[in-house]
Amino acid sequence: MLAITKPARLYVTDDILAEYREALGRPKLAIRRGLRQQLLQLIKNHAQTVRAVPPLRVAKDTDDDKFLECADAARDYLVTGNQRHFPRFWKKTKVITSREFIGIVAPHLIS
C-alpha cells in the first residue's frame, strides 16, 4: 500500500485497470466479488490515471508493454517483480524491484 501513500504516487492507465480487474477475478485467487470491487475502487481513488501514447513494443512479453507505456507517460519508476520482461531503463523510466522502491520511499522499513 506504499504506492498509494505519500511521497509515492500510483499511476495507471485504463488498460492496467482492466488487467487488475481481470487478475483479481481469477478463480485461483478466490477473492470475493465485494472485496475485488473494494480493491479496484481503492486503486481508482488513489491512482492518477495517465494516457499512454504512442503504443510501445519494448517488453519481452508484449502484454507487459502497457506498464512501460504508463511509466513513460508518468515519467516515473516502473516497480515490478518481473524484471526479466523489461529493460532496466526506458527513456526516463527506471525499472526497479519492490525492495528498491521501499528503499526509496520508506528506507526505514528495510532491515
What is the per-residue pLDDT across 61-108, written as a single tens digit (0 to 9) for each?
888 889 989 988 888 888 988 888 888 888 888 899 988 988 888 888
Helices (H), 7-107: 14-24, 33-46, 65-74, 98-105
Q: Which of 53, 95, 59 is nearest to 78 (CA)?
A: 95
Quick: pLDDT tens for 8-66: 788 999 999 999 999 999 999 999 999 999 999 999 998 999 998 788 888 888 888 89
Within-domain flag for 61? yes
The overall average pLDDT reported for the chain is 86
Query: How high is the pLDDT of residue 31?
Result: 95
* Stronger pLDDT, 7 or 25, i.e. the higher one: 25
Within-domain flag for 15? yes
How many domains does the chain fold into? Answer: 1
Query: How high is the pLDDT of residue 25?
Result: 95
Task: Output phi, psi for 90, to 5 deg.
Answer: -140, 110
Q: Under a CB-based contact definition with an 8 Å cutoff, are residues 106 and 39 in contact? A: no
> Which structural domain, as residue segments, surrounds residue 48?
2-105
Q: Under a CB-based contact definition with an 8 Å cutoff, are residues 60 and 82 in contact? A: no
Within-domain flag for 14? yes
Within-domain flag for 76? yes
